[in-house]
Amino acid sequence: MMRALFRCAKTIAGVVHSPADALLFVQICAFIVRLPAIVRRTDVPTFFERIGTAPRPKARSFEAGYRRVARLREAALSMPRLWRRDTCYLRAVTLYRFLDSRGHRVRVHFGVEQSSSPEQRLRGHAWISVDDALFEAPDAVRLRRIHEVPLHVAI
């Protein structure tokens, strides 16, 4: 127990560079914890409308904002109670929720991977695009093995 606590504290200390980072880290963790309940009781358009218009932490540049959110998201997902939730869906939705778009068009995408045989189960994926360029997308998207399910939301 103490070893896990020490590891968590060390991880947080390594990624939190300011009081604003500490607050954003807590907000990201809370979002990750609450996300399943929010999704269960909200329809898809309303959910994306809410997170798409929610206040975002300001960043010096789009790239700096992305690095900050990604760094804190990775640390949050390495916490003992949250690491099991580390999925492409959660990563994409968290980035979509907290990224300061800075005038860029950010979209979240969902898709289903084409299986090589009918016996294989479907595998879903999620990623974002920035100004229609793939961003944190799995290689299968670039290889056109994933068929996107249209969802028209953007910030």
Distance of alpha carbon 29 from the chain centroid: 11
Q: What percent of the chain has pLDDT over 90?
A: 31
User: In this structure, is residue 30 part of a structural domain?
Assistant: yes
Q: Is the pLDDT of residue 154 over 60?
A: no
pLDDT for position 155: 54
pLDDT tens, residue by residue, 37-94 = 998 898 888 898 899 889 999 999 999 999 999 999 999 998 877 667 778 889 999 9
Q: How far apart are CA 70 and CA 46, in angstroms?
A: 25
Entry pTM: 0.83
User: In this structure, is residue 79 part of a structural domain?
Assistant: yes
Q: Which domain holds residue 93?
A: 2-149
Q: How far apart are CA 106 and CA 96, in angstroms?
A: 7
User: In this structure, is residue 154 part of a structural domain?
Assistant: no
Who wins on pLDDT, 150 or 116?
A: 150
User: In this structure, is residue 50 part of a structural domain?
Assistant: yes
User: In this structure, is residue 56 part of a structural domain?
Assistant: yes
pLDDT for position 143: 82
Residue 89 makes CB contacts below 8 A (sequence gap 6+) with 110, 124, 125, 126
Q: In the chain, how many domains are there? A: 1
Q: How far apart are CA 35 and CA 37, in angstroms?
A: 6
pLDDT for position 29: 92
Give me 95's structure tokens.
């980035």
Q: How far apart are CA 32 and CA 138, in angstroms?
A: 21
- How would residue 112 be classed by pLDDT, with cut points 50, 70 and 90? confident
Nearest residue to 126 (alpha-carbon basis) of 103, 80, 98, 94: 94
User: In this structure, is residue 155 part of a structural domain?
Assistant: no
